[in-house]
Amino acid sequence: MLKLILAQINLTVGDIDGNVNAIIKTAQRARDVYAAHVVAFPELAITGYSPEDLLLRFDVLNSVEQALQYLLYAVPDIAIILGYPRRYGAAVYNCAGVIYQGRLVAEYHKQALPNYGVFDERRYFNAGECPCVVTLQGLNVGITVCEDVWFSEPIFNTHAAGAQLIVNINASPFHVGKHSEREAQVRQRVMEVHIPILYLNLVGGQDELVFDGNSFVMDATGQITHRASHCVEEEIVVNLDIAGIESGTIALTPSNEMAVYQALVLGVRDFVWKNGFHGAILGLSGGIDSALTLAIAVDALGADQVEAVLMPSRYTANMSNEDAIAQANALKVIWHKISIEPPLQTFVTEISTAMNIELTGITQENIQARCRGLIMMALSNQTGKILLSTGNKSEVAVGYTTLYGDMAGGFAPLKDVFKTFVYKLARYRNTLQPIIPNRVLQRPPSAELRPNQTDQDSLPPYEMLDTILHLYIELDKSIAEIVTAGFDLTTVQRVINLVNHSEHKRHQAPPGVRITQRAFGKDRRYPIVNKFYATT
Amino acid sequence: MLKLILAQINLTVGDIDGNVNAIIKTAQRARDVYAAHVVAFPELAITGYSPEDLLLRFDVLNSVEQALQYLLYAVPDIAIILGYPRRYGAAVYNCAGVIYQGRLVAEYHKQALPNYGVFDERRYFNAGECPCVVTLQGLNVGITVCEDVWFSEPIFNTHAAGAQLIVNINASPFHVGKHSEREAQVRQRVMEVHIPILYLNLVGGQDELVFDGNSFVMDATGQITHRASHCVEEEIVVNLDIAGIESGTIALTPSNEMAVYQALVLGVRDFVWKNGFHGAILGLSGGIDSALTLAIAVDALGADQVEAVLMPSRYTANMSNEDAIAQANALKVIWHKISIEPPLQTFVTEISTAMNIELTGITQENIQARCRGLIMMALSNQTGKILLSTGNKSEVAVGYTTLYGDMAGGFAPLKDVFKTFVYKLARYRNTLQPIIPNRVLQRPPSAELRPNQTDQDSLPPYEMLDTILHLYIELDKSIAEIVTAGFDLTTVQRVINLVNHSEHKRHQAPPGVRITQRAFGKDRRYPIVNKFYATT
């Protein structure tokens, strides 16, 4: 009987010492508490995922090499499977090594290197060409890395090389539905080779990405025998022999709302703490976006680490202030109130006088948003707390947002969440505890930058807008295809023009948590100069 | 005798109709004015370079296909060589086609796909595997694309397939010294195959990149027979037969200062006009960075399209205002003056009162910079002119700059220019016309955010700083290697810490012109959460 631990742990990019310590502690516990024979760690565990251009640096690769040499002797009497980058002459491989009793028993080089979406692995790595099988407790264990399991060949070859089970170590980022895609993909491989596959994923936030865990074990018939939880550190203890796998704990799959909410919380928590900020601040408008962002921040960091600021102007409705205060109080968050009227008036008077012009409505609206941005950044500078920007994906997509104004901030939790889904998340969070007043969920959304303004003065209804945006941005559909899906040409063209004309704003947007298959950021790389849709 | 035109032209990403029209007009002129047999256009001429993720869209690829079909018949009686992306099932190739009399006579698929630095070609393209040789006027002409010429194999195979000369079409971006690297590389290929290589490059700015032209013809002995100019549209007319190449015009290679200055001018001009802005504005401090940026803007757009704004505070020296006015007047640029004292005082009073705190010096300095950013953005909104940010690479590297303050803007011309090189460029520009007062070149640089401040209060001398930054950022040297190069450990660690702790600022920085081999932006992809240098 082989006892194997899949360690779904949270590592930090670049923190080689910290990651090595976490690996050692976990391996010791696996040996001493569980009496395990083997413990496995995620892809690129020594560096964290993804180190990006740190991988081009010899000093980084040399430090990894030293860490690897140190790990060889660090935890005797248990086999360790773990990921790291390693240089061989001019080539660098994405490796999975097997360490036992001071020896690197085997080393696998990842064969399938993703170079799409958020992945740039061919920028850094050479592809391996050979399967890797090691014998542990009399069982032949094949080792593969992440993308390998999405293709038949690497798994087929590993089986052909004698593997009786496969341990696939991953750094697979979250998007809605990703978890079931992974299990379906692994099931397809299992059906091809008829051996168990143990799928170990990283957990934790790294800039835009959240690694959601959800590690699992699938037996030779395609049944799930173990599943770790979503977005938390956890260890899966697997007992297996040639006859089969002892059944274990299977975590329930969360709803989409719960899965996304927890991913956003983890993404915010890790971005804030791993970057060394002393908590978070945000502007609380009384609207739905800042209400949800506040709840996420509190769940991520604790109410005592978060402060909210109301910044009313003459256009701010009384109920907006009331609702903002109600939200802050419900979450037990300190709030402050700073009017933007005095600086706004000073700017408007001074600029119009100096230039001898009358400022347009749009200019004045932007000044309002930027006065708020300036106040929040001053408080961020003063306190060392990160400013969270509260914009959602619908706004960021069409540029219904002010650069250096409401876009100001170090992190934008809702950046990849469409407005219609913001409402769903808010309702979900209210099921745990009623914190967002019903009025906030029911009022027509408004930027409150001019009298009686609503978002729908400038934009199509959000149900329609979000569908068009989904088709255009996430599915790459053409104008004609979107029209065929049931929208009028003028609206579709207007939306697409708005998206393309706000590329320069997104270029300067803070990062946010990726929850879809096509997030703004490293996932979607559009030129700023781009006349394609100007001519169609 | 074969008469061939290399058309070094300026195309626009996504502007398929516009690019096709430019191709047609140039081809007609090549035929009707020069009586040429062949005209060649750059890599991805139909889409412009680089379309980035537009290449993932079927609507874009379908439009390219339609454009290609249209081009087949557009210009009879001359052969056209040009680049475009083309889809074959699930694969997309970076193609060079040869069109003649309504037929696609031949199509080459680029074999060497760069996926490093600013290039992501393996994200988009499959690699071709075959050489391509066509017979034009009795000569066997091999076709290759850009990166192919940096490797022996594609050129060797093209020669082996019978080529008597090679036309290599490119979209090769500028950095200092790139032009001579290209010629050295092509000379190496010529020495391997002993046939002429005609190197055609794109010209023009696209976001961060400037394609500098500098197309050239090298004969079978490695001698340059033709060279087009730097950073302008130009056509090279080549007459050649089996015996050799008629000698032509060889443009002189500009000095590094001239080459960079002209690249910055072209980069600004194309970013502003191709994005449809109505000119440019910038804050003029009296310092060297804004002085140089103003000169670049004027040379790019014309003095009547540029406006300068002085935004003094109590810390602004009189001579700063005097020098700023002298610069604007020397360049015949309209200038305005708006004091930041009133809004600054309003913010400081209001925030400290509301929060019952005293604002730190840093917070107040940042408020000053952000008041300026806000004023400039208001004027940008009001006028439709782009705000140019004036920060240089040294500042951007160490974060000696305020996010949403002096970093505000749509484009940052000096973003990749170290401070020491800013001085060289300013002196170079003054040799053409004395526009930057000597005092500006001689005063110790200062942000003027507190009394008697100079940059060197916070930073090592720029000569030292820029060398350390060059070693760390551009050459990926380790701390130990930089110390060995003659710097003290404390200084090196401090500089590297500053660089790593300002990654979040650069993430939100405007794009600027790339002039080095490692510019901030798509060229250098560092994680924000990154503890590597925290632990070394």
Q: Which residue out of A382, A479, A513 would a mutagenesis test of the B interface target, given it has the greatest number of B Cβ atoms within 10 Å?
A: A382
User: How distant is the Cα of B476 from the closest Cα of chain A, in angstroms?
Assistant: 6
Residue A21 in contact with partner chain B when CB distance is under 8 A = no
In whole angstroms, what is the distance from residue B55 CA to residue A117 CA?
Answer: 13
Evaluate whether residue B463 is within a structural domain. no
| A439-448, A483-492, B159-168, B490-499: least confident range | A439-448
CB contact under 8 A, B16 and A476: no
The yes-or-no verdict on residue A378 having pLDDT over 80 is yes
Same domain, B338 and B410: yes
Query: Which of A336, A343, A527 minimises the CB distance to B347?
Result: A343
Give pLDDT tens digits for B47-68. 999 999 999 999 999 999 999 9
The yes-or-no verdict on residue B370 having pLDDT over 70 is yes
- Count of C-beta atoms within a 10 Å radius of residue B94: 29
Question: Could you confirm whether B130 is annotated as catalytic?
Answer: no
Confidence of residue B447 (pLDDT cuts 50, 70, 90): confident
The yes-or-no verdict on residue A151 having pLDDT over 70 is yes
The pLDDT value recorded for residue B377 is: 98
Evaluate whether residue A525 is within a structural domain. no
Evaluate whether residue B461 is within a structural domain. no
Same domain, A342 and A366: yes
CATH number at residue A204: 3.60.110.10
Query: Which of B337, B354, B403 minimises the CB distance to A354?
Result: B337
Chain-wide mean pLDDT for chain A? Answer: 96
The pLDDT of B484-497, averaged and rounded, is: 96
CATH number at residue B372: 3.40.50.620
CB contact under 8 A, A342 and B339: no
Chain-wide mean pLDDT for chain B? Answer: 96
Catalytic residue among B3, B107, B110, B208: B110
Beta strands (DSSP E) in A473-516 are none
CB contact under 8 A, A115 and B116: no
Same domain, B156 and B264: no
Same domain, B227 and B275: no
Confidence of residue B451 (pLDDT cuts 50, 70, 90): confident
Final residue before a domain boundary, out of A219, A254, A289: A254
Same domain, B215 and B343: no
Catalytic residue among A3, A95, A132, A146: A146
The pLDDT of A461-483, averaged and rounded, is: 97
Final residue before a domain boundary, out of A429, A453, A477: A453
Interface of B with A in 417-436 (CB under 8 A): none
Same domain, A389 and A316: yes
End-to-end CA distance of chain B: 65
Cα dihedral across residues B87, B91, B95, B98: positive or negative: negative
The yes-or-no verdict on residue B535 having pLDDT over 60 is no
In our burial notation (b when 16+ CB lie closer than 10 A, e otherwise), range A265-279 reads bbbbbbbbbbbebeb
Question: Could you confirm whether A146 is annotated as catalytic?
Answer: yes
The yes-or-no verdict on residue B536 having pLDDT over 80 is no
Evaluate whether residue A14 is within a structural domain. yes
Evaluate whether residue B318 is within a structural domain. yes
Same domain, B239 and B380: no
CB contact under 8 A, B478 and A59: yes
Q: Which residue out of A404, A506, A518 would a mutagenesis test of the B interface target, given it has the greatest number of B Cβ atoms within 10 Å?
A: A404
Catalytic residue among A110, A385, A415, A419: A110
In whole angstroms, what is the distance from residue A411 CA to residue A380 CA?
Answer: 12
3-state helix, strand, coil in chain A (%, to 5): 40, 20, 40
Domain range for B429 is: 259-453
Evaluate whether residue B184 is within a structural domain. yes
ipTM confidence: 0.95
Question: How many domains are there within chain B?
Answer: 2
Interface of A with B in 162-191 (CB under 8 A): none
The pLDDT of B94-117, averaged and rounded, is: 98
Residue A379 identity: L
Interface of B with A in 61-80 (CB under 8 A): 62-63
In whole angstroms, what is the distance from residue B390 CA to residue B409 CA?
Answer: 9
The pLDDT value recorded for residue B452 is: 85
What residues of chain B lie within 8 A of the CB of A476, using their CB?
56-59
The pLDDT of A156-174, averaged and rounded, is: 98
User: How distant is the Cα of A150 from the closest Cα of chain B, in angstroms?
Assistant: 17
Evaluate whether residue A467 is within a structural domain. no
The torsion of the CA quartet A475, A480, A484, A486, rounded to 10 degrees, works out to 80
Same domain, B25 and B136: yes
Same domain, B427 and B293: yes
Confidence of residue A456 (pLDDT cuts 50, 70, 90): confident
Final residue before a domain boundary, out of B218, B234, B254: B254
Per-residue tokens: B165: 């000369």
CB contact under 8 A, A531 and B479: no
The pLDDT value recorded for residue B7 is: 98
The yes-or-no verdict on residue A92 having pLDDT over 70 is yes
Give pLDDT tens digits for A183-222. 999 999 999 999 999 999 999 999 999 999 999 999 999 9
Same domain, A192 and A223: yes
In whole angstroms, what is the distance from residue A59 CA to residue A333 CA?
Answer: 44
The pLDDT value recorded for residue A81 is: 98
Confidence of residue A534 (pLDDT cuts 50, 70, 90): low
Which residues are within 8 A (CB) of B288 and not within 5 positions of it... i.e. 6 or more apart?
B422, B423, B426, B436, B440, B441, B445
Residue A534 in contact with partner chain B when CB distance is under 8 A = yes
| A408-417, A453-462, B224-233, B360-369: least confident range | A453-462
Give pLDDT tens digits for B154-207. 999 999 999 999 999 999 999 999 999 999 999 999 999 999 999 999 999 999
Q: Which residue out of B19, B338, B359, B404 would a mutagenesis test of the A interface target, given it has the greatest number of A Cβ atoms within 10 Å?
A: B404
User: How distant is the Cα of B372 from the closest Cα of chain A, in angstroms?
Assistant: 11
Evaluate whether residue A311 is within a structural domain. yes
Same domain, A13 and A78: yes
Confidence of residue B458 (pLDDT cuts 50, 70, 90): confident
Task: List the one residue out of A179, A78, A182, A99 whose CA is nearest residue A143.
Answer: A99
Give pLDDT tens digits for A223-261. 999 999 999 999 999 999 999 999 999 999 999 999 999
* Inter-chain contacts counted by CB atoms under 8 A, chains A and B: 260
Same domain, A99 and A26: yes
The pLDDT of A326-347, averaged and rounded, is: 97
CB contact under 8 A, A378 and B363: yes
Give pLDDT tens digits for B267-322. 999 999 999 999 999 999 999 999 999 999 999 999 999 999 999 999 999 999 99
What residues of chain B lie within 8 A of the CB of A478, using their CB?
57-59, 62
CA-nearest residue of chain A to B347?
A343
The pLDDT value recorded for residue A533 is: 78
What residues of chain B lie within 8 A of the CB of A283, using their CB?
none
CB contact under 8 A, A504 and B275: yes
Which residues are within 8 A (CB) of B335 and not within 5 positions of it... i.e. 6 or more apart?
B284, B307, B308, B309, B310, B324, B325, B328, B329
CB contact under 8 A, B59 and A526: no
For A14, phi and psi rounded to 5 degrees?
85, -15
Question: Could you confirm whether B43 is annotated as catalytic?
Answer: yes
